[in-house]
Structure 1
Amino acid sequence: MAVRCWGIVCGLALVKFGNPVIMEGFVSWPSDGFEWLLSPWPLTLGYGLVALALGLSLRAMPGRRGWNPRWLALAPAAWLAWQCLSALDTVDRALTRLTLPHFIVCGACFFAGYKLLALRPTLRGFWAVCAAALLWVLAYGVDQRFRGLPETRAFILEHEATHWQNFPPEERSRWERSGVLIRTAEGWTAHPMLLEKARSLRISSTLFYPNTLAGALLLFGPPVLWAVATTPLLTTGARALMGSIVGGGALACLYWSGSRSGWLVALGLGLVTFLVWPWPRTTKLAVLTVLTVLGLGVFAFRHAAFFQRGAPSVVARLDYWEAAWHTAWEHPWLGTGPGTFQRPYEQRKRPESEMARLAHNDYLQQASDSGWPAALFYGAWVWGGLIWTGRRLWRQPAHEGFFVWLGLLGWAVQSCVEFNLYIPALAWPAFLWLGWLAGGTGENDSTKPAHPA
C-alpha cells in the first residue's frame, strides 16, 4: 500500500505539478470537474500528498538503520541547512517562500526512498501507477499535437490579425492584466512567447514547456519501459504491444517537443544502454553505429532551421549562465536567496535579451541563489549518488535498478541546460528514486544484483 501511495504521488506530480515552483502564483484552484481533470493543481495539494505518503510509509514500514555511505546523508542535509541560511538574507522573500518548501520536500522524498522504500527489492506496483501517468502524458501530447495546438494557433493568429478588437472586452482586460496581451499603438498584440509557441507547434503536454516534457520522458521512460517489458501479468505479445506503445509514444512526443537537449540526452542514454548490454562485440558495434547515425540524422533534419537562425536559445542560455556566474562570485557564500535568480538577472541582462526567471542550469543556479557551498553540496548529492549507485548497477544492465539509474542519469545531465530541480513533476520522483537506489545498493555486495526482480 505504501509503495503504491508513493507511485500515486509521482504519477500525480507528473500530471498535475509540472510548473516551476516560483510560478505557483499563476496556478489557481480548479473550479469544476473539467478543470480538476485537465488543469494543473496548486502545489499545496502536492505537499499534502507527500505528507500523507510519508505518514503511511512510516506506519507500514520499519525502515532501514543507519546510512551507508554516511556522506550520502550529509550532502542533502548540508544542502538543506545552507538553503535555510541563504533564505535569511534573500533579496526576494516571496520567491524564497515559494522555493524553500519545495526543497524541503525534495529532501523528504530522498529520505523516504533511502530509509523506507529501500528495503523493498522491487517497486513493481509503483511502476504500474507511473506507467498509467506516463500514458496520460503521452495521450495528452498526441492530442495537443494534432488538435490542441493547431486550433490554438488558428485562434491566436485570427485575433492577432485584427489586434484583438473583436475579442470580448472583459476577457481582453483579464488577459492584459496577466501579461498574455500587450497594448500597442495599433491596439493589442499577443505576448511574443505566446506567438512563438503558436507558430512552432512544439508540444508540452501536462508539463510547463517542451523541454520540461523532454525531461519527464527521459526520467520516466526507462523504468516504465522496463516495467512494461517484464511484467508477469501480460503475455509476451501483449508486453511487446505495450512496449511499442510506450516507447513509440515517448519517442514521438520527444520529437514533437522539439527539445534539442532532450533528443541528444536520449541518444546518449541509448548508447549507454547498448554499450553495457551483454551482446557480442560485432553486434554491439553495429547497433551503436546505426543508433548514432540515425539519431544524429533525425536531429540534423529536425533542427536545421534552428541552426540557420543562429541557435537563439543557445545564445540566450549563455547570457543566463554568464549572469548566474557573476552573481555567484559577487555573493559567494549565501547567494541572493533560493529561487531568486531573476532579480539579479533583471539588472545584468543585455537590453536585447529576453527576460528569464530561472538560469536553465540547476548547478549554476544553486551557486547564484544560495552560494558556492550549496552548489557543492547539491552536486555531491546528485552526482555522488549517481556514481555510488551506478558503479554497482553498471554490470546489471537488464535489471530494474539499472533502468531507474538510467532515467536519473538523463535527468541529471539535462539539468545542466534546464531547471529540472524547480519542477516538482521531475524533482520529487528523481530524489525518491535516488534514495531507493542508494539505500538498496549501499548494503549489497557489488557482485550481486542490487534489486532482484
Structure 2
Amino acid sequence: MVLLLSTVALLVARPLVPGEDPAFLSSLTDPGGPTPTFLWFLLAAAWALRAVLTRQSALAMGWVDCGLLALAGVYFLSAEFAPAIYPARLTAWEMLGMAACFLSMRQAARSQEELKPLWNALLATAFCVSLYGLYQHAWEMPALRKQYEGNLQKLKEDFAKQNPGMVELDEAFLGQLKDRVLQPHIFSTYSHPNSLASFLVLLAPSFVLAAVAAFRHPYPRRALAFTLTLLASYCLAIWFNFSRGGMGALGITALGWGAWHAWKNPPWRKWVFSAVGAGLLLAAGIWQAGFLDSLWTKEGSGGMKARVEHWQGTWRMIQAKPWLGVGPGNFGNFYTSFMNPATEEKIKDPHNFILELWSNAGATAPLIFLCVLACLFYALCKKPNQVDSPPGVQEVVNPIPPWIFYLGGMFGLLLGFVLRVEYRSTNDLISECIGALIRTAGWFFAFGILENLSTSKREQVMALALGLVAMLINLCLSGSVLFSSVMIPFWACAALALNASLPAGQFRGIKPAWGFPFIAGVTALYAFAVFIPLATAHGLALQASREGHSPGMDLGQKTIRGMDRVGHLLNRVVGPYLEAARLEPLNPRWPLGLATWYPVVFVEATRRGDPNALAYGNAALAAVEQAEKLDPQSTETALARYHLRSFFAERNKKEAARQYRDAAQGLNQAIQKDPYEAKWHYLLADTLVQALKADPNSKDKGTFQGEIKKHSAEALRLDAQFQAPMRKLTPPERIKALEWKAGKVLPTPK
C-alpha cells in the first residue's frame, strides 16, 4: 500500500515541477527538478526489495527496460568524452531515471485494480495542469502584460529583487525574460509552452476515451456532463497553448486511427484510398494558394522555416561528431558554431527527437531509441484478442481502498507545491499558493469523476498507445525528449499500456535477487555522488548570493555593511562558493561565482590597504581559468574573462593596456564560438579602443586599428541583419561603431 501510494504521489508531482533544464545550464535552475528523479530511483529500489521479500517470481522487465538501460549507457559513454562533463553526466542520470520510472510503474500496475486508478491519477494530473493553464490565460498573463508591457526597467528591477545575484541582467537575458513574461501561449507548471504541449497531447486520447465511457454507460446524466466538462476544459487548454505541432500531431493521429480502422474493413478500403487522394489534392491546393505562409514564415515563436534552419545547423554538427555526439547538455555551446548565420534564435535543442538524440550521444542513441519504440509498439499491437484474461485464468483481485489513491494524490500535489516554492522568492508565494489551490481542486474533482467510469484494458491500451504516437509526432517538431517533466509521463503511460496489453499473470523478467542489488547500488550512487552534493552546493550558493546580493556589472561600486567587510565577504559569500566547488568539482558554475565575488573582495581589501588584495585578484583570475577548463566550449566563461580583465583595467591605470588586451582575447574566444553576435563584435572594438587610449604608442597600434574597423563593420552588418532586440546594438553603440568604422576618434598613427 505504501509503495502504491508513493507511486501515485510521484506520478502526480512530476508534471508539477519544471524539469526542462536537466543539465543545469541556467543559473536559475534549482534542485527541485532532480528531486523527483532521485525519488524514482528510491521507489524502484523499494519495489525491487518488496519483490525479494515477498518472493515474487520475477521483476517485470523486458526488452523495453533493457533498451532504456542501453540508451542511458550510451549517454554515460558520450558524457565521458564531452567537453563539459558535468552537464553531460546530469543528463545521462536523467535518462537512467526514466528507466527507473518505467520499472516502478510496471511493478505498481500488475492488475486492473491498480492499473485503472493509476491511469485515473495521470488523467487527473493532466486536468489540474490544464486548469492551471486556463487560470494563467484568464488572470496571470493579462496582469503581467498590463504591468510590464513597455516597461522593461520595472521588469528588470522586480526580477533583481526576487532573484538577488542569480543571473547577470544583461540586455539579452532581459529580452528573453520579457518574451517569457509577455508571451500569449500558456505554459502552466512547465517552463516552456512546447513542453506543456507534449504533455497535453500525450493524454488527449485518454480524455476522449473517458468521455466515450461516460456516454455509453447508464450513469447519471451529471456524470456525463462532468466528464464532458473535463474534456472541454482540456481542449481549451490545448487551444490556448496554441502549439501547431501539438494540434497537428493530434489531427494526424486521429486521421491515422480512422484510416486504420477503415482499412481493417475491406468494403471501406476504397473510401480510404479516396479520402487519402482527396486529402493530398486539398493539401496541394492549400499549399499553392499560400494559406500556409504564416506556418512556414519565420517568426518570433518559430515557424517551419526556423525549424528547417535549426535542423540544418544540427546536421552540420552531427557531421562533425557523428559517433559520440557533442555530449549531453553541450548542444547549445556547439550550435552557435554551426548555425545558419541568418538565424535569429540560439537554441538549446534541435526541436526534433531523432536529431536531439544523435547530436547529443552519437548515432547509436537514436537507433536504440527507435528499437525501444519498436519493441514497445510490437508488444502493444500483437495478439490484441489476448489482452483480456484467457479462459480459466482469473486476475488476482485484491480490492484496494480508494483512499490510497486520494492520499497519494494529496501527497503528490503537496510535494509538487513544496518543490516549486522551496528555492523561490517569497514574493512568488501568494501566486504559488493560489495555483496550488486551483490544481488541488481540479485534481480531486477529476479523479472523483474518473474513478466511476468503466473502461476495458483493450480500450486503455488503445488510448494510451494513440497518446504515445501523438506525442512522438509532436516531438518531431519540439524538443523535450531529454526533459524528465515531459518524458516521465511518457514512459509512465508506456508502462501502463504495456501492462494492460498482457494477459493476467504473464509478467516476465529477471529474478528479484539479481535486480535489487543493482538498483539499490545505482540509487546509492546517485544519492551520494550526484543529488546530495548538487542540492547542498546549490543551497550554499543561493545563501551566498542572497547574503552578498548581486554585484551587478560594476563590481567595484558594491558595498556591504559591517565593520569587517572583507571578512564578511570571505566568510559569508566566498566561503560557501568554495564549499560548493569542493562538493561539485566539475561544475563550472561555482568557479564563475567565485570570479564574480573575488573582485568585490579585491576592491574592499584595496580600500583598507590589505596586503592580501592582490591575492584576491589573482584568485579571481584562477577561478575563471578553472571555469574555462571545466566548460571550454562555453561563451559564458570567455565573457567572464573579458569582464574580469576590463574590471582590473579600470582600477589599475598602469596595467590598463595589458588588461584590455587580455580582455580582448576573452572576447575573441567568445566570438570564435559564436561569431554572429553583434554586441560582442562591438565590445571587442570598444576594448581595443580602450587599449589604444591606455597606450597610444603601442607597437600593435596598426593591428589594433585594423581590428577595430573590422569588428565595427561586422557589428553593424549583424545589427542590420537581425530584428530581435536582444541581437541589435543600442543607438549610442551604433553611432560609435559607425565612427570607428570610418576611422574617427582613433589615435592617429605617427
Give the alignment's TM-score, normalised by structure 1: 0.77
Residue pairs, 1:368-387, within 5 angstroms: 368-387=359-378
Q: Distance in 2 between matches of 1:166 and 1:262?
A: 31
| Equivalent pair of 1:4/1:125 in contact (CA under 8 Å) | no
Amino acid at match of 1:19: E
Among 494, 516, 530, the residue aligned to 1:434: 494
Q: Distance in 2 between matches of 1:383 and 1:314?
A: 28
Unaligned runs of 5+ in 2: 388-455, 506-750
CA apart distance, 1:345: 0.4
CA apart distance, 1:261: 0.5
Q: Distance in 1 between matches of 2:6 and 2:232?
A: 28
CA apart distance, 1:137: 1.0
Q: 1:184-217 CA deviation, whole Å, 9 max, x = no partner?
A: xxxxx941x4444555411111112112111111
Which stretch of the first structure deviates more once superposed, 387-396 or 369-378? 387-396
Among 83, 94, 108, the residue aligned to 1:102: 94
- Corresponding residue number in structure 2 for 1:111: 103
Distance 1:156 1:234, change over 3 A: farther
Amino acid at match of 1:437: A
- Corresponding residue number in structure 2 for 1:211: 194
- Residue 328, structure 1, aligned to residue 318, structure 2: yes
| Equivalent pair of 2:60/2:103 in contact (CA under 8 Å) | no
Among 161, 167, 190, the residue aligned to 1:178: 167
| Equivalent pair of 2:295/2:303 in contact (CA under 8 Å) | no
Q: Distance in 2 between matches of 1:64 and 1:222?
A: 34
- Corresponding residue number in structure 2 for 1:237: 221
Q: Distance in 1 between matches of 2:6 and 2:217?
A: 21
Residue pairs, 1:255-274, within 5 angstroms: 255-274=239-258
| Equivalent pair of 2:65/2:102 in contact (CA under 8 Å) | no
- Look up the SS of the partner of 2:318 in the other structure: helix
Q: Distance in 1 between matches of 2:32 and 2:351?
A: 23
Q: 1:278-302 CA deviation, whole Å, 9 max, x = no partner?
A: 99988xx89x98xx9xxx9xx99xx
CA apart distance, 1:356: 0.8
- Look up the SS of the partner of 2:171 in the other structure: strand
Amino acid at match of 2:12: G
Among 36, 58, 70, the residue aligned to 1:65: 58
Distance 1:371 1:48, change over 3 A: closer
CA apart distance, 1:314: 1.9
Q: 1:173-192 CA deviation, whole Å, 9 max, x = no partner?
A: 96896366518xxxxx941x
Which stretch of the first structure deviates more once superposed, 264-273 or 137-146? 264-273
- Look up the SS of the partner of 2:481 in the other structure: helix
- Residue 149, structure 1, aligned to residue 209, structure 2: no
Q: Distance in 1 between matches of 2:141 and 2:245?
A: 22
- The structure with more radius of gyration: 2
| Equivalent pair of 1:75/1:380 in contact (CA under 8 Å) | yes
- Corresponding residue number in structure 2 for 1:249: 233
CA apart distance, 1:132: 2.9
Instruction: Using the aligned pairs only, state the percent identity.
Output: 17
- Corresponding residue number in structure 2 for 1:449: none
Amino acid at match of 1:377: I
Q: Distance in 1 between matches of 2:224 and 2:148?
A: 41
CA apart distance, 1:64: 6.3
CA apart distance, 1:107: 1.5
- Look up the SS of the partner of 1:21 in the other structure: coil
Distance 1:67 1:3, change over 3 A: closer
Q: Distance in 2 between matches of 1:206 and 1:47?
A: 17
Distance 1:392 1:263, change over 3 A: farther
CA apart distance, 1:425: 2.0
Q: Distance in 2 between matches of 1:227 and 1:165?
A: 46
CA apart distance, 1:222: 2.6
CA apart distance, 1:13: 1.0
Q: Distance in 2 between matches of 1:261 and 1:414?
A: 5
Among 331, 335, 338, the residue aligned to 1:345: 335
CA apart distance, 1:408: 1.2
- Corresponding residue number in structure 2 for 1:361: 352
Q: Distance in 2 between matches of 1:149 and 1:435?
A: 36
Q: Distance in 2 between matches of 1:352 and 1:339?
A: 24
Amino acid at match of 1:255: W
CA apart distance, 1:224: 4.8
- Residue 129, structure 1, aligned to residue 121, structure 2: yes
Distance 1:97 1:195, change over 3 A: same
- Corresponding residue number in structure 2 for 1:450: none
Q: Distance in 1 between matches of 2:155 and 2:320?
A: 50
Which stretch of the first structure deviates more once superposed, 142-151 or 169-178? 169-178
- Look up the SS of the partner of 1:421 in the other structure: coil
Q: Distance in 2 between matches of 1:13 and 1:254?
A: 20
- Corresponding residue number in structure 2 for 1:421: 481
Unaligned runs of 5+ in 1: 30-40, 184-188, 446-453
Q: Distance in 1 between matches of 2:204 and 2:9?
A: 17
- Residue 15, structure 1, aligned to residue 16, structure 2: yes
- Look up the SS of the partner of 2:327 in the other structure: coil
Q: Distance in 2 between matches of 1:76 and 1:43?
A: 20
Q: 1:394-430 CA deviation, whole Å, 9 max, x = no partner?
A: 9989611111111111122222122222221221122
Distance 1:180 1:127, change over 3 A: farther
Give the alignment's TM-score, normalised by structure 2: 0.49
| Equivalent pair of 1:111/1:432 in contact (CA under 8 Å) | no
- Corresponding residue number in structure 2 for 1:223: 206
Give the paired residue count. 414
- Look up the SS of the partner of 1:81 in the other structure: helix
Q: Distance in 2 between matches of 1:12 and 1:49?
A: 11
| Equivalent pair of 2:211/2:228 in contact (CA under 8 Å) | no
Q: Distance in 1 between matches of 2:233 and 2:57?
A: 38
Q: 1:224-276 CA deviation, whole Å, 9 max, x = no partner?
A: 55457648999342432232222211211111112110011111233344445
CA apart distance, 1:370: 0.8
Q: 1:294-315 CA deviation, whole Å, 9 max, x = no partner?
A: xx9xx99xx9783384464322
- Residue 81, structure 1, aligned to residue 73, structure 2: yes
Amino acid at match of 2:366: A
- Look up the SS of the partner of 1:422 in the other structure: coil
- Corresponding residue number in structure 2 for 1:315: 305
Among 124, 127, 131, the residue aligned to 1:139: 131
- Look up the SS of the partner of 1:144 in the other structure: helix
Which stretch of the first structure deviates more once superposed, 311-320 or 248-257? 311-320
Q: Distance in 2 between matches of 1:377 and 1:395?
A: 28
Distance 1:235 1:417, change over 3 A: same
CA apart distance, 1:59: 4.8
